[in-house]
Chain A
C-alpha cells in the first residue's frame, strides 16, 4: 500500500535522505531502525507531507502522493502518531479524538475507542495533556485508529513508557495488523521491534543500508545494538 522509490530529502543544501526505498504492504508491520539523526523522523515527515524538499516518489494505495499537501494525505488514509505524541493541551481528550476527520468506513466509533481504551473513557472531558505519558500515547494511537487510517506511521511509540504500557502497544499493533492496516514503526528498541514487525529497514546516515527479517534481527541483535549506540 505504501511504496517509496528513490526518495531524496534536503534541508537547504544538506541532503538528509539518499535514494530511500521502502515498502509497506497491507497488514504488514515494518520497522525503521536507526540511531538518532539517521533520518528516521525526516522520512516519516516526508511520507506525511510535512517535509516538502524532496525528490523521488511516494505512492500510497496506488496513487502518487508526492506532491499532495499533508491534509490530503491524511484524508487518503495515512495516520500519524507523532514522536512527542502530539496531544493538544487546548483540546479535551474527546476533542483530540474527534479533531481529525474520518477517512474510511474502517473508522472507529467513539464507543469502540472507549471500549478498547477504557482509561480514556473516564477522562474524556479532561485536557489532553493532563493525561500521563502512557495515556497520551494511547490517545495518540486511538486518534489515528478512530479516523480509519489504513496506514499508521508510528514514531517511537514505546519510548519512555513502562513495560506494561509497551506490552499493550504491542497488542494493539498486532490487533491492528490483523485487520489489514499497514504499520511503519520507527524504533530504537530492537527487542520491541523484533516482537511486532515482519521486516526491518536499517537506516544509517540517510540511507537504507540493510533490510532484515525478524530472524536476522534477533540473531544480530547485539551487533545492531552496538550500531545504534545503545
Chain B
C-alpha cells in the first residue's frame, strides 16, 4: 500500500510536467493550428533558466516559478513574431520544419554555453525531505509539484470557462473561420496565446529542475512522450491534455517500478490502445478522425 501510494505520487509529479506542457501545446494548436515541435526545447529552457538564475543571482525556486514564465512568455512572443506567424498560412510540413529546426538550434546553443553535463539544482529547504501523511511517507517536493500543477490547471480551466478570453479561445479553436465572420479578431490572440503556451512549458521546466538532470537534451525525450500525451488526450483538447498528462505520468512511474525496461514502451502501448478504441483521443472531437 505504502509503495503503491509512493509510486502514485511520483507518477502524478512526473505527470504534472506532461500535463502543463501538453496544456500549452493544446492551446497553441487550437488557436494557431500549429503543432509546436519546439515545446520540449521550451521546457528545457525553463529548467536551464531556473538553474542559471539560482547560480548567478541566487534566485530560489519560488522566484523562478514567477520570473521564468514571464521571461518565457516574452521569448515566446519574439519567436511568434519572428518565425511562427509566417507558418499560419502554409502547409503543416513547414510548421514541422521550423519548430523542429528551432529545437535543434536551441539545444545546440545551450550545449555550447553550458556543456553536456547536468546543471545542479537544489530546491528550497521547505520543499526538501519527506512528509508523513496518514502513515505514508512521501517526498515533499513531489507532493508540491503535483498540487502546484493542479492549481495551475484549475486556474487555466477557470480562465477558459469563465472569461471572455476563454470563450474566444474556445470559439477560435472549434471554428476559426466562423469566429472571424462573427467579428472576432482571431489574429489578435495568436501572439499572446503562443506566448502563454511557451510560458507554461517553461513553468513545467522550472518545476522539473530539482527532479531531473538539467541538460540541453532533457527536452528531447520529454517531447516524444509529450506527443504521446497529446495523442492520448486528443489533439487540441485542453482537458484531454491534462488528464492524459497525469495518466502517462502514472503509467511511467508504475512501469518503472514493476517493469523498468518496458516503462517507456508502456506509454506507447497505451497510446496505441487509445487510438484503436478512440482514434481522436480520449477527449478529441469526432472531426479529428476524418
* Chain A residues engaging chain B, CB cutoff 8 angstroms: 48-50, 69-71, 74-75, 80, 82, 86, 88-91, 95, 98-101, 103, 143, 147
A91 B185 Cβ-Cβ under 8 A: no
> Given A88-B170, A90-B171, A147 and B183 touching (CB < 8 A)?
yes
B183 A101 Cβ-Cβ under 8 A: yes
A71 B183 Cβ-Cβ under 8 A: yes
- Chain B residue at minimum C-beta to C-beta distance from A101: B183
Which of the listed residues B170, B178, B182, B186 has the most CB atoms from chain A within 10 Å of its own CB?
Answer: B182
Interface size, B (range):
10 to 19
Bound Cα distance A103, B175 (Å) = 21
> Given A71-B186, A88-B171, A99-B171, A82 and B178 touching (CB < 8 A)?
yes
Bound Cα distance A48, B184 (Å) = 13
B241, chain A: closest CB distance, angstroms: 14
Q: Closest 4 interchain pairs by CB?
A: A74-B183, A100-B182, A70-B180, A90-B170
A71 B170 Cβ-Cβ under 8 A: no
A100 B167 Cβ-Cβ under 8 A: no
Bound Cα distance A99, B170 (Å) = 10
20 A–B contacts from the bound complex (CB under 8 Å): A50-B181, A71-B180, A71-B186, A74-B180, A74-B181, A74-B182, A74-B183, A80-B181, A80-B182, A86-B178, A88-B171, A88-B175, A90-B170, A90-B173, A91-B170, A95-B167, A98-B167, A101-B183, A103-B183, A147-B183
* Chain B residues engaging chain A, CB cutoff 8 angstroms: 167-168, 170-171, 173-175, 177-186, 285
- Chain B residue at minimum C-beta to C-beta distance from A48: B181
Bound Cα distance A103, B174 (Å) = 23
B181 A70 Cβ-Cβ under 8 A: yes
| Contact residues of A: prevailing secondary structure | loop
- Chain B residue at minimum C-beta to C-beta distance from A77: B183
A116, chain B: closest CB distance, angstroms: 19
What chain B residues lie within 8 Å of A91 (beta carbons)?
A: 167, 170-171, 174
What chain A residues lie within 8 Å of B182 (beta carbons)?
A: 71, 74, 80, 99-100, 143, 147
What chain B residues lie within 8 Å of A70 (beta carbons)?
A: 177, 180-181
A71 B184 Cβ-Cβ under 8 A: yes
A75 B183 Cβ-Cβ under 8 A: yes
What chain B residues lie within 8 Å of A90 (beta carbons)?
A: 170-171, 173-174
- Chain B residue at minimum C-beta to C-beta distance from A75: B183
Bound Cα distance A12, B34 (Å) = 24
Bound Cα distance A75, B180 (Å) = 10
Bound Cα distance A69, B183 (Å) = 10
Bound Cα distance A60, B184 (Å) = 19
Given contacts A88-B178, A147-B182, 9 further A-B pairs with CB under 8 A are A70-B181, A71-B184, A80-B182, A82-B181, A90-B173, A91-B167, A91-B171, A91-B174, A99-B168
B169, chain A: closest CB distance, angstroms: 10
Bound Cα distance A69, B178 (Å) = 13
Bound Cα distance A109, B176 (Å) = 25
A99 B174 Cβ-Cβ under 8 A: no
> Given A88-B174, A90-B170, A100 and B183 touching (CB < 8 A)?
yes
- The listed residue (A82, A95, A100, A143) touching B184 by CB distance below 8 A is A100
What chain B residues lie within 8 Å of A50 (beta carbons)?
A: 177, 180-181
Bound Cα distance A189, B179 (Å) = 28
- The listed residue (B174, B177, B184, B185) touching A89 by CB distance below 8 A is B174
A49 B167 Cβ-Cβ under 8 A: no
B188, chain A: closest CB distance, angstroms: 9
Bound Cα distance A101, B181 (Å) = 11
What chain B residues lie within 8 Å of A48 (beta carbons)?
A: 181
- Chain A residue at minimum C-beta to C-beta distance from B285: A89
What chain B residues lie within 8 Å of A86 (beta carbons)?
A: 175, 178
Which of the listed residues B174, B175, B180, B181 has the most CB atoms from chain A within 10 Å of its own CB?
Answer: B181
Bound Cα distance A82, B175 (Å) = 12
- Chain B residue at minimum C-beta to C-beta distance from A78: B181
- Chain A residue at minimum C-beta to C-beta distance from B179: A99
What chain A residues lie within 8 Å of B174 (beta carbons)?
A: 88-91
What chain B residues lie within 8 Å of A75 (beta carbons)?
A: 183
Bound Cα distance A90, B236 (Å) = 12
Which of the listed residues B173, B184, B186, B285 has the most CB atoms from chain A within 10 Å of its own CB?
Answer: B184
